Amino acid sequence: MNTGKVTLVGAGPGDPELLTLKALKAIQAATVLLVDDLVNPEIVAHAGKQARVIHVGKRGGCKSTPQAFIERLMVMAAREGENVVRLKGGDPFIFGRGGEEVEHLRAAGVHVEVVNGITSGLAAVTSLGVPLTHREHAQGVIFLTGHAQRGARLPDWKSLAATARDAHLTLVIYMGVSSAGRIQDELLAGLPAQTPVAIVQRASLPGQRHAVTTLGELSATIAREGLASPSVIVVGDVIRGVAVAAEAVPKARTA
């Protein structure tokens, strides 16, 4: 029996020019390409003529391809000798279920590799002209999800708020728009209402939209501006630099 392999490839936040060279080579060499819902079609277009492209959409609030089906498909194709690329938005190991897919493939005896991609949390703040860490404002960063699978423990937002305040950390929240009201209320238990916040929708893409506000106005701003998924919420003093960046590079406000 011929044995192929599976490569989990991070497609980045959406902008095709942010794709890594290693990711590009993997996509071009694939014979089977399993594509997540948020991957830019311009990236999929790099696939070779030999590739069979299968869209396996997974998106909050929408009908999704079952994870178990995707995992079975990867194992089956690899055992048939295919060069399988699982193409994911952002980075496979940051809220991309890459960890559980790697575990499943290894347990099935399938050779698996991972190619990192730029995660949307980093691309979001970069598009606004500010960093995630800064020696004077943020000594670290925490990546969090605002959406947990049914039955799983949610982040302890109150404790996280106190930690972020005392340790000067930036909070980057993925998939948090639908629960922004609850997250806001709990973060306010440990962070001042005037803490700067940015919400960035469709980071790095031509249709990117963003709003800069305060923690106390987070949910109201999301409703007023009509911001929706996929969005990243960034909380912390590094966001104070957005106004300065906008003055230096006017395009940053309307990226």
Residues labelled as active-site residues = 36, 58, 175
CA distances from 62 to 50, 132, 231, 244 (A): 30, 30, 16, 38
CA distance 6 to 78: 7
| Element spanning 189, H or E | none
Q: Say if CB 128 and CB 203 are below 8 A apart.
A: no
Query: Other CB atoms closer than 10 Å to residue 144's CB: what's the count?
Result: 19
End-to-end CA distance of the chain: 51
Q: Left if phi > 0, otherwise alpha if psi is -120 to 50, otherwise beta: which for 59?
A: beta
CA distances from 250 to 125, 212, 233, 237 (A): 15, 15, 22, 21
Closest CA to 169 of 179, 159, 177: 159
